[in-house]
């Protein structure tokens, strides 16, 4: 995994664990299977995310076999399919529509993404897919909200990507923390 440069590009305003700087969303995946125990530890980490009234509304539909991934490809937009088809695992994140389900599910996704870094894996979430088609193809009941598809696997070389995507394959910075905080009132 290429996190070289993550601490050169990303400099925190305050002291934090380096794992937050190392996490980014590469698009180049090796076509290499992820061992069961390594993969399941991502979902185990998500399991322990904070949850309002312990509802744990998050659910993950995963695709690991070629046939399962092809089902997912049917609803992923072409621009994302150009790079995600090499990912050995795809996961659709959904949540049961009760309480602050989207908030809690976002926390679960965050835990999953950080555990991936700990395991030497990368993740790349996608919003570019047809939610209605995903619901139909995967038989998702209406009481579940559909949030994102996440590609999971080992990081490949930037040069393995189509040329038009290679320029996007870089670690991004963040705005200063002060620009995200308002004290006392919205300003």
> Whole domain around residue 125: which residue ranges?
33-157
Say how far residue 83 (Cα) sits from the centre of its chain: 14
Beginning with the edge strand found earlier in the chain, give each strand of the sheet holding 58-63 in spatial order. Answer: 58-63, 89-96, 144-153, 122-126
Residue 104 lies in a domain: yes
Summarised one tens digit per residue, pLDDT across range 107-150 is: 999 999 999 999 999 999 999 999 999 999 999 999 999 999 99
CA triple 129-118-162, angle to 5 deg? 40
Residue 13 lies in a domain: no
> With a threshold of 0.85, does the pTM exceed it?
yes
**CA distances to 43, 112, 113 from 49, in Å:** 10, 9, 12
Number of domains in the chain: 1
pLDDT at 5 over 60: no
CATH number of the domain to which 72 belongs: 3.40.109.10
Residue 171 lies in a domain: no
CB 152 within 8 A of CB 91: yes
Say how far residue 150 (Cα) sits from the centre of its chain: 4
Summarised one tens digit per residue, pLDDT across range 20-78 is: 999 999 999 999 999 999 999 999 999 999 999 999 999 999 999 999 999 999 999 99
Q: Which pLDDT does position 187 carry in this prediction?
A: 82
Residue 27 lies in a domain: no
Inter-axis angle of helices 36-47 and 101-118, nearest 10: 140
Residue 152 lies in a domain: yes
């Amino acid at each position: 995994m290429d996190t070289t440069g993550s601490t050169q590009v990303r400099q925190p305003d305050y002291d934090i664990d380096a794992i937050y700087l190392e996490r980014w969303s590469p698009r180049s995946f090796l076509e290499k299977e992820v061992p069961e125990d390594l993969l399941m530890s991502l979902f185990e980490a998500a399991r322990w995310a904070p949850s309002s009234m312990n509802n744990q509304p998050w659910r993950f539909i995963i695709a690991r076999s070629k046939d399962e991934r092809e089902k997912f490809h049917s609803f992923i937009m072409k621009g994302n399919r150009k790079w995600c088809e090499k990912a050995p695992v795809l996961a659709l994140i959904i949540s049961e529509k009760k309480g602050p389900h989207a908030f809690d599910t976002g926390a679960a996704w965050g835990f999953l993404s950080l555990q991936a870094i700990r395991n030497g894996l990368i993740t790349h979430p996608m919003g570019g897919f047809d939610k209605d088609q995903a619901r139909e193809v995967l038989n998702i009941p209406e009481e579940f909200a559909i949030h994102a598809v996440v590609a999971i696997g080992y990081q490949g070389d930037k040069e393995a990507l189509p040329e038009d995507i290679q320029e996007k394959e870089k670690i991004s910075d963040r705005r200063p923390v002060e620009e995200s905080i308002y004290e006392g009132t919205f300003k």
